[in-house]
Structure 1
């Protein structure tokens, strides 16, 4: 509820009573003021006392008319032209009633007194509401500081936006910025119009962190240039659509920008400065496998901020590699950091060895994996080959060529998995743990030994194939939004948060740790679906609200899907230097057991035996339960 709907926490009915009482209290004050400013033979208070016999009738009639017109129910923020007209009707009616009763019962006063009384009463009622509005606004601003923004564009769209934001609870426009020199130096709707060159000054002096781009008619390349320039100053930029776009022939939902996934986190996102951890990546050659994926691309961005000597982008998808390479190239101008795109698979031993040797890789961040549960469930052999053998190939080569650190990006689905994807990630963990047990701790004086570690976390908001982009795409088509089961809950974290913590954990690793990230409380997917629908401006259609816009369909759990995920095999967690990073103490397989696992898995993959692959998983992966549908068919 808006702050302007509240006066000392009163309900709507009580608030109406307060306004009505104020208006009626002002009536005798207006009479007293009128008698004071008029030249009368009788003292003002004496004259007001003579009015007491008829004053209750005037108050009752005025109060009834005011309530009938709905004037006490008008909110302070909505008190504009129409409400002011109602106030004038009440004031004139009160003066007319007062004139009639004075003529009949006395006291007798000149006709001009009634006119002055009407004007005085009107001015007082309007002035009191204006003062109350400013008081409530000042109190709220003091209790909740508003975010200061600059509006880029002082045209019609910008000025209308500024007028709307002046009444907004949480946003305070401080200035316009416009390229038009004829506007610079002017003041529009109470805000100065500045040149773009003064943005940095406004950021420092007015504590501005966000710019609202109100130039919808400007072409896209020009807008992109402005946005890039503003983002280099560390500003958040939001673009406003034009009115023509909003009422165009295309559906409204196609014109609106989706709400960023981090808005659905239900907690404040955490920014984790790298500080000392950046030293582990600075001036080193870092390889990121799966560099074009959601996690991999964010790893690349944040590793670049640590100033490595060289960043190797290892990616199987040509389009994904091209996209991330083009993005990063624009950020590297003048930095001296070498960027190397490598198109290939981590399951290719010869290529992996060649890349590690040719570029003298020192740190490997292994994010390459097939991670979409239904697809891997339908293609188990491909998922196992990529996720398990790819990890084995890359990790063994890292140990062979003396890579300093090897960090596996794992998943909460690896804990007691019910699907092939989760089982493949658990097998990858077992491979890395085995190599860690046979590698001397890095820094013990033994040259060429690799620190092997892994970081396990849950879902990241906004990643490819995650629920929020899926929900937003379903909403754009008009629904329905599909949820597998109303009881399903998942852990969530923003991509930025997860990657920052991964890099922190990787820098702290000594070898063999299973790091687990604190992801807060699990989130109900059903509630998340409702939230995404409502954030898009629609209502949920269900049994209680059959007139709603978007329905939520419960489609049943997919093969291998769990109601709730876990982050550890045991409840024993060891704290680290970082409060959001824990280390899990879990049992590992011996070297002979891992070799037997890999040998059996290689045989079933080579023979194309999907059922045999599931039997291997059941034999070696703790907690794995074959999905019911698969058990019935086998």
Structure 2
């Protein structure tokens, strides 16, 4: 129905109601025409008629979508009708020097009931028309959270005829709501009844509708949901709904990142702004998972220029275009295609842009691949870092932050050994440089290209099985945004030579991670299957963030620690780099591990650990 036709019908309906209420009130009180004259009835009818239509326009009664009416619309009707009765009473007083209160009161009651009833019949008709008659075609849905978000979800599912979900009941930890009904749905109890509710009500689908849920609470709820065969999803963020990015009923899967993530730490925004604001920042490996997120986080603190340095043109193009869409008018964004192994090119970029801070995220990180290609690992992770660090020293960069790895601790693989070498390299350079050189160590980041998550997801999409190296294999995990924010915070705290260690929380079994991912994808472990294929070359059963010589750490910021710096004579490092070109792959591995192992032995005795 178009707007004009709808407006005409509503005005005609209101006109009949207004006139009918006046005449009905008159005849109820004076059925034998003993008091009122025709003039009194006429003046009252015309006054109420005109007043109602004027006020109906003022309060937008003809523009409201009554099929979605609520208390707000009822209040608008009350104000419009009441004011129109008051105006009519004043007109009666002016014409007849009297107000017929009883007649007007009855007219007011009839007016409210008929106008309100005529509007709310739209809600009744709409719900009746779109009611899901054959619920067998729909997925029976349990809503966790009977607050404003949960009731909003229930209303949407009940009235949206396109949705294939049918709400059956609520679960909420608020005991005051237990045994009550909301939107006609029972509140069964707290999260402890989830499994029982799924069985009793034949639930196919669970929606977590608590936007304020903390991560530990989400874990508890999900663990209960995971014991059932119902698919579990959560409602979108309220801010995304408010911004129009998604609709209320666009539910999202619970991600493994949601379960392994932690409560966000509050950063020192003033300190970071003072360090980064209006400064020139250079990020190597800017197209990678960590590097690109560091760029996103840095741009929030308004640097004057950010240089996106990377070897892969496609990845640099992607992050360059992303940042330009948001910050082009505020920040000078410079994409720089360069290989950190190309010393001349790195010096050229540093000389051209003269950065204040360098975040060095470029590296070869894939453990098994570097076992097969140790020469490339050394060229990139050691010589590349040396090029970036010496260019930073030459062009008086204030701070250089090396993104290191937990695999640098007691390394059993080439990747970890080269990262450990790079840490020692910049520590030595810090001794005679005005640039502050620091390293930041952390474990695996969820969602990065080298993470097991993308591999597991691909295996699930292919129908399984998921391959896990060993049932007892454990790893530390952190989300990319959290790791990037803490890297930036650590750079602000740098004094030089530090090895910053990020608090990675509790280690997680890879087997448990695989099981959670299967359930989150809507499958059972039996459907996908899990196979163990043995530890790969260079892998450890568990990861460490500190070696024995570095255990005397102190916390300098929430989730950021400083490990005791382990130095090595520059001559030993220099000797390896000079002899590198004459070594074969076997010699590279042997000499590299000799340096790392000997270093640990010397400093273990020195620190008497």
| Superposition pairs of residues 53-452 of structure 1, within 5 angstroms | 147=149, 158=160, 164=166, 167-169=169-171, 237=246, 259-265=254-260, 268-275=262-269, 276-334=271-329, 336-439=330-433, 449-452=434-437
Distance 1:592 1:257 in 2: 56
Q: 2:194 matched to which residue of 1?
A: none
Q: 1:492 matched to which residue of 2?
A: 477
- Contact 1:488-1:563 within 8 A present in 2 as well: yes
Over 3 Å counting, the alpha-carbon distance change for 1:234 and 1:358 in structure 2 is: farther
Over 3 Å counting, the alpha-carbon distance change for 1:145 and 1:426 in structure 2 is: farther
Alignment RMSD:
3.6
Count of paired positions? 404
Over 3 Å counting, the alpha-carbon distance change for 1:569 and 1:586 in structure 2 is: farther
Q: 2:514 matched to which residue of 1?
A: 529
Over 3 Å counting, the alpha-carbon distance change for 1:170 and 1:288 in structure 2 is: farther
Distance 1:278 1:535 in 2: 39
- Contact 1:600-1:616 within 8 A present in 2 as well: no
> Equivalent residue of 1:428, what SS?
helix
Distance 2:419 2:244 in 1: 38
- Contact 2:256-2:517 within 8 A present in 1 as well: no
Distance 2:573 2:316 in 1: 33
Alignment equivalent of 1:478, drawn from 444, 460, 463:
463
Q: 1:216 matched to which residue of 2?
A: none
Distance 1:533 1:229 in 2: 27
How far does residue 435 in structure 1 lie from its aligned partner after superposition?
Answer: 0.8
The C-alpha deviation readout for 1:378-420, integer Å capped at 9, x for no partner, is 1111111011100000000000110011000000001111111
- Contact 2:256-2:520 within 8 A present in 1 as well: no
Over 3 Å counting, the alpha-carbon distance change for 1:333 and 1:166 in structure 2 is: farther
Q: 2:532 matched to which residue of 1?
A: 554
Alignment equivalent of 1:462, drawn from 438, 447, 450:
447
Over 3 Å counting, the alpha-carbon distance change for 1:451 and 1:150 in structure 2 is: farther
Q: 2:68 matched to which residue of 1?
A: none
Relative to the length of structure 2, the TM-score reads 0.60
Over 3 Å counting, the alpha-carbon distance change for 1:398 and 1:333 in structure 2 is: closer
- Contact 1:456-1:567 within 8 A present in 2 as well: yes
Distance 2:170 2:355 in 1: 52
Q: Which consecutive residues of structure 2, in runs of 5 or more, have no partner in the other structure?
A: 1-141, 175-182, 185-209, 214-235, 601-609
Q: 1:105 matched to which residue of 2?
A: none
Over 3 Å counting, the alpha-carbon distance change for 1:328 and 1:623 in structure 2 is: farther
Over 3 Å counting, the alpha-carbon distance change for 1:155 and 1:483 in structure 2 is: closer
Distance 2:517 2:540 in 1: 22
Alignment equivalent of 2:541, drawn from 560, 563, 587:
563
Distance 2:418 2:391 in 1: 20
Distance 1:272 1:400 in 2: 35
Distance 1:168 1:472 in 2: 31
| Range with bigger deviation, 344-353 or 471-480 | 344-353
Alignment equivalent of 1:515, drawn from 492, 500, 510:
500
Distance 2:519 2:301 in 1: 39
Q: 1:576 matched to which residue of 2?
A: 555
Distance 1:258 1:381 in 2: 42
- Contact 2:367-2:415 within 8 A present in 1 as well: yes
Distance 1:148 1:170 in 2: 10
Over 3 Å counting, the alpha-carbon distance change for 1:147 and 1:271 in structure 2 is: farther
- Contact 2:367-2:538 within 8 A present in 1 as well: yes
The C-alpha deviation readout for 1:286-319, integer Å capped at 9, x for no partner, is 0010001110010000000011000000011111
How far does residue 576 in structure 1 lie from its aligned partner after superposition?
Answer: 3.5
The C-alpha deviation readout for 1:511-555, integer Å capped at 9, x for no partner, is 000000111111000111111111111111xxxxxxx20110100
Relative to the length of structure 1, the TM-score reads 0.58
Distance 1:312 1:598 in 2: 29
- Contact 2:443-2:504 within 8 A present in 1 as well: yes
Q: 1:46 matched to which residue of 2?
A: none
Distance 1:351 1:587 in 2: 31
> Equivalent residue of 2:557, what SS?
coil
